[in-house]
A and B are shown apart, each in its own frame.
Chain A
Amino acid sequence: MKKRIAGVAVAAALLTGCAPSTNAPATSGTDEKTGTLRVWLFDEPNRTPKEAVIKAAVEEFQAAHQGVTVDVQYIAVETRAERFKGAFNDPASAPDVVEFGNTDLAEYVNAGGLADIGADLDGWAEGADLAADLRASATVDGTAYGLPWWVGVRALHYRTDVFTELGLTPPATLAELTATAKTIRQRKPDLFGVAVGGKYTFGALPFVWANGGDITALNSAQSRAGVTAYTDLLKDDNCPPQQCADLTGGKTVELFAGGKAGMAILGNFNRAAVEAGTVKGKYAVVPLPGVTAGSIAPAFAGGNNLGVMKNTPRRTLAADFLKLLGSKNYQLKMFDAMGNLPTLTSARTELAAKDATLKPFLDTIAAGTKFVPVDPGWGAIDSQAVIPTMLQNVATGRSTVDAATDEAAAAVSAALKK
C-alpha cells in the first residue's frame, strides 16, 4: 500500500513536471550602455535601398555611442509570428529593438513581450509631431508600446485612357463608383470595372467605415449597408464571383497593373508594382470616395511600428536607436528608399509639396484613418478569415447579407472577448 502511494506521488510529480512550459519575459533589470544592440527589421522584396538607409543610421548611432555595435537582422514577414513567439519564449536569443506590423501589436503586448515606451515618446522632441490617430494605433489600454514608423493607405486607382475613351469622370461617391464600374464592364467586357476580391479585407472595410459601420458591429444596419455595397461589386456585371470571390488584395494589384481592370483600390506601397505593369502612364489616383459627394471613405492605416522588447538588457540604448530610426530625417530617407509614408505630420507636409502623386494618399490620411481593434483577438479574427468568409458567403450567394454579417459579428465578439 505504502509502495503504491509512493508510486502515485512519483507519477504525480513527474506529471506536474511535464506541464506545458511557460517563460516569464520579465524585465532584465540591467541597463547596459555598451555591447551589441540587436535589431530585427522586416525583410522586404527589394530590400537593398532599405538596407542602405539602415546602414547609415547604424553608422551614425555607433559614432555617437562609444563601445556599441548594432547588429541588424532582417526577418521574413511570412514567418514573423514564429520568430516573435520564439523571441518571447527565449529572452536569450531575443532582439532589443523590433519592427512589427501594427495589426500584430496587441497580440505581442498581451504576450508580455513589448516594453512601455510612452515616457520615451513624451520626452522626445519629435514625439509631438505624431498624429493622435496614429499614436492610438500603437497604444493598448492607454500605454504606448510602439512608435508608428510608417503608414500605408489605399486609394482609388483608375485608368485614364479607359475613362477618356468612355467619357467617364472619377466617381465622387461610393454609389457612383458602382455605377462607373458597371459601365466600364458593360462597354469593355474584357475588363473588370473595379477589381475587388472576396479575400480583400482592407479593400472592403472602407465601404463599411464610410457607411458608419465598424468591425466590432458587423451586423449593424450601417455595417450591412457597407457590406452590401462592397459585395454588389462581386457580381457578373463588374467582377464575376467565379473569378473574384477568391481574390486577395495582392491579386487585385496584379489585375490592375496588368491592364485587366478599369479601377482598383490599391495602396501607395503598391506603386512600384503598378509602375512595373502595362498601365504605367495610363492611370491616376484619387481618394476612395465616401457616401456623400466630397467625402473620403476612411482608409485602413496599415503600417509598421518600432518597439523595444521588454526583456532588453539595454533599455536606454534601444530607445535611443528607436528614436533615431523614427526621426524625421530617417523617415524621409525611408520614403525615398521604399516609398513608405512618414508618420510625422511635418515630414508628410514636406513630401506633399515635393511629390504631387502622393496627394491622394496624404489627403486620405488627413481625412482620418481607421484601424482594426487593438486587441489580441484581432489575430484570431484575421487567421480564422472571419471577414473574407463573410464577403465570400454573400458574393457566392450562399448566404444573405443579414445572415453572413450575423455570423461574422458572433465570431468577432467571441474572439475579442477572450
Chain B
Amino acid sequence: MTTIDAGPAVKGRARTLTPLWLLLPAAAVLLPLFVYPIYQLGLLSVLDFRQAQVSGGQPTRFIGLDNYTDLMSAPRFWSVLWATVLFAAALVLVTLAVGAALAVLLTKVSRWAAYTLSLAAMAAWAAPAMTGSTVWMFLFDTNLGLVNRVLGWEGHNWTYERLDAFALVGAVVVWHSFPFVMVTLYAGIKALPEQVLEAAQLDGANPWQSFWRVTVPMLRPIIAIVVIQSIIWDFKIFTQIYVMTNGGGIAGQNLTLNVYAYQQAFASSEYGLGSAIGVVMMLILLAVTLVYLRLLRRSGEPL
C-alpha cells in the first residue's frame, strides 16, 4: 500500500508523462525514417530542382507553388489521377472479394485441399512483381502467347484497348495481392469463438447470413487493416503497369499516378515536380485512410 501512495500530484504528472517516455524509442526510430524523407519531399516540391541543380551547374531556386500549379494545370494529370483512383478502387474491391471468398473456402474444405490452396497462394504472393508481370506477358503475348493460341486469337493485342489493358494488369495485381488478404482473414476467422457461430446456426441463420451478420462484424478490425493496406498498395501501383504496358500503354492510356510521376519527373530529372506529385499522392492516401477510419468508428465500437 505504501509503495504506490505517492500523493495525487505526482501520480497525475507521472501518468501524463509515462506514455511519452514509452513512445520515445519508437519515435527515435520513426522520426528519422519517416519525418525526414517527408520533409525533404515537401522541400523539394517547392524548389526548382533538376539535374543541373543537383550537380551544381545551376543554383537551386525557391519557386513556391509553381510545381503544384504546373501539375494542376496539366489536363493529363487529372485524367491520370481519375484513372488511378478508379483502378485502385476496383482493385481493392476485387482483391477483397477474392481474398475473403478463398479465406471462407479454406475454413470449409479438407485439410489437404486447404494446404494445396495456401501453397499456391503463397507462391503467387512470393513471386516478385517484375517476374510475375513478365511471365503473364509471355502468356498474353500478341503473336506467341499461350492464351492467344488456345483461344485461336493470334495477333490479338491485349494491351491495345485501354480497358483490356487495365483489366489484364488488374488481374495480375489481384493475383499478387489476394494471398495477403486471404491469409489474414483466414487467421481472423479461425480466431473467432465457435460458440457464436454455433449460436447463430441454432437461431436459424443460413451460412450467408451468419457470414454477413456475425463473421464480418467481428472481423471488422482485421478487415480495416486489410482494406487500408490494399488501398495504399493499389494506389501506388507501379511495376505491373510499367512492365506490362511498356511504361504506360499506347499513347500513355494506362498511366497511373506513380508511373506518371516517374515518367514526367524522375526519368526527366525534374525532381521538384516529381516531389510535388509525391506530396499530392501522400495527401490523397492520408485523406482516404482517415475518412475510412472515421466511417468505421462512427458505425460501431472503437477499433
Contact residues of A with B, CB < 8 Å? Answer: 15, 18-25, 81, 85, 88-89, 107, 110-113, 198-199, 241-243, 245-246, 376, 379-380, 383-385, 388-389, 392-393, 396, 398-399, 415, 418
What are the residues of chain A within 8 A of B44 when measuring CB–CB?
20
B55 near A113 (CB under 8 angstroms)? yes
Would you call B251 and A112 a contact (CB within 8 A)? no
Instruction: Let me know if A389 and B251 touch, CB within 8 A.
Output: yes
Residues of A within 8 A of B52 (CB): 110-112, 376
* Of the residues B58, B142, B155, B252, contact of A389 by C-beta under 8 Å: B252
- Is A23 within 8 A of B56, CB to CB? yes
Distance in Å: Cβ of B151 to nearest Cβ of chain A? 15
15 examples of A-B residue contacts, CB within 8 angstroms: A19-B43, A23-B55, A23-B56, A107-B51, A110-B52, A113-B55, A198-B250, A198-B251, A199-B246, A243-B142, A376-B50, A379-B269, A380-B268, A384-B267, A398-B251
- Whether the Cβ atoms of B159 and A246 lie closer than 8 Å is yes
- Measured in the bound complex, the distance between the Cα atoms of B157 and A243 in whole Å is 7
Interface residues, chain B, CB within 8 Å of chain A?
A: 36, 39-40, 43-44, 47, 49-58, 60, 142, 155-157, 159-160, 246-248, 250-252, 263-264, 267-270
Chain A hits for B247, CB < 8 A: 385
Count the A-B residue pairs with Cβ separation under 8 angstroms: how many? 109
Q: Is the CB of A22 within 8 A of B53?
A: yes
Asked if residues B160 and A245 are in contact (CB atoms below 8 Å), the reply is: yes
* Residue among B50, B248, B252, B264 making CB contact with A418, cutoff 8 Å: B50
CA distance A389 to B269 in the complex (A): 20
Assembly CA distance A383 to B267 (angstroms):
6
Q: Which of B54, B250, B264, B267 contacts A246 (CB 8 A)?
A: B250
**In the docked arrangement, what's the CA distance between A21 and B155, Å?**
51
State whether B54 touches A392 (Cβ < 8 A): no
A393 to B160, alpha carbons, bound, how many Å? 12
Assess the A113–B250 pair: CB atoms within 8 A.
no
Please, which residues of chain B bring their CB within 8 A of the CB of A241?
160
Q: Which residues on A sit within 8 Å (CB–CB) of B252?
A: 385, 389
Which residue of chain B has the shortest Cβ distance to A114 in the bound complex?
A: B57
Question: Across the two chains, which residue of chain A brings its CB closest to B59?
Answer: A22
Q: Which residues does chain A contribute within 8 Å of B264, judged by CB atoms?
A: 384
**Contact (Cβ within 8 A) B157 A24:** no
Given contacts A24-B56, A396-B251, contact A242 B269 (CB under 8 A): no
Q: How far is the CA of A376 from the CA of B51 in the complex (A)?
A: 10
Chain B nearest CB: distance from A65 CB in Å? 30
- Closest chain B residue to A383 by CB distance? B267
Instruction: Please name all residues of chain A whose beta carbon is closer than 8 Å to the beta carbon of B159 when the two chains form the complex.
Output: 246
Residues of B within 8 A of A243 (CB): 142, 155, 157
CB within 8 Å for A110 and B58 given contacts A198-B250, A243-B157, A383-B263? yes
Q: Which residues on B sit within 8 Å (CB–CB) of A388?
A: 251
The answer to whether A25 touches B50, judged by C-beta atoms less than 8 angstroms apart, is no
Q: Tell me which residues across on chain B come within 8 A of A112, comparing CB atoms.
A: 52, 55-58
Residues in B whose Cβ lies below 8 Å from that of A242: 142, 155-157, 160
Output the nearest chain A residue to B143 by Cβ-Cβ distance. Answer: A243
In contact, B55 and A25 (Cβ under 8 angstroms)? yes
**Complex Cα spacing A368 to B239, Å:** 42
Which B-chain residue is minimally distant from A380 (CB atoms)? B268
How far, in whole Å, are A198 and B157 apart by their CA atoms in the complex?
A: 14
Name the residue of chain A whose CB is nearest to the CB of B251.
A392
Closest CB-CB distance, A376 to chain B, in whole Å? 7
**A10–B40 alpha-carbon span in the complex (Å):** 18
A245 touches B250 (CB 8 A): yes
Q: How far is the CA of A23 from the CA of B59 in the complex (A)?
A: 10
- Chain B residues, Cβ within 8 Å of A107: 51, 269
Tell me whether A385 and B57 are in contact (CB under 8 A): no
Q: Across the interface, which residues of B come within 8 angstroms of A85, CB to CB? A: 51, 54-55, 269
CB proximity of B249 to chain A, nearest CB, Å: 8
Q: State which of A111, A198, A398, A418 has its C-beta within 8 Å of the C-beta of B55.
A: A111
Pairwise interchain contact B54-A22, C-beta atoms closer than 8 A = yes
9 closest Cβ pairs, A-B complex? A112-B57, A88-B55, A24-B56, A380-B268, A392-B251, A383-B267, A111-B55, A110-B52, A111-B57
20 new A-B contacts, CB < 8 A, other than A15-B39, A20-B54, A245-B250, are A19-B60, A20-B40, A20-B44, A23-B54, A25-B55, A88-B56, A110-B58, A111-B54, A111-B57, A198-B251, A242-B160, A246-B159, A246-B250, A379-B269, A380-B268, A384-B263, A384-B267, A384-B268, A385-B247, A385-B252
Chain B residues with CB under 8 Å of A380's CB are: 268-270
B106, chain A: closest CB distance, angstroms? 40
Q: Whose C-beta in chain A lies nearest to the C-beta of B270?
A: A380
- In whole angstroms, how far apart are the Cα atoms of A85 and B57 in the complex? 12
Contact residues in B for A111 (Cβ distance below 8 Å): 51-52, 54-55, 57
Chain A residues contacting B43 (CB-CB under 8 Å) are: 18-20
Tell me if B49 and A246 are in contact (CB < 8 A): no
| Interfacial chain B residues near A21, Cβ < 8 Å | 54
Tell which of A25, A379, A385 touches B263, judged by Cβ atoms closer than 8 Å: A385
Cα separation A110 to B269 with both chains bound (whole Å): 12
Set of chain A residues within 8 Å of B56, measured between Cβ atoms: 22-25, 88, 112
Q: Which B residues are in CB contact (< 8 Å) with A199? A: 246
Contact between A385 and B55 (Cβ–Cβ < 8 Å)?
no
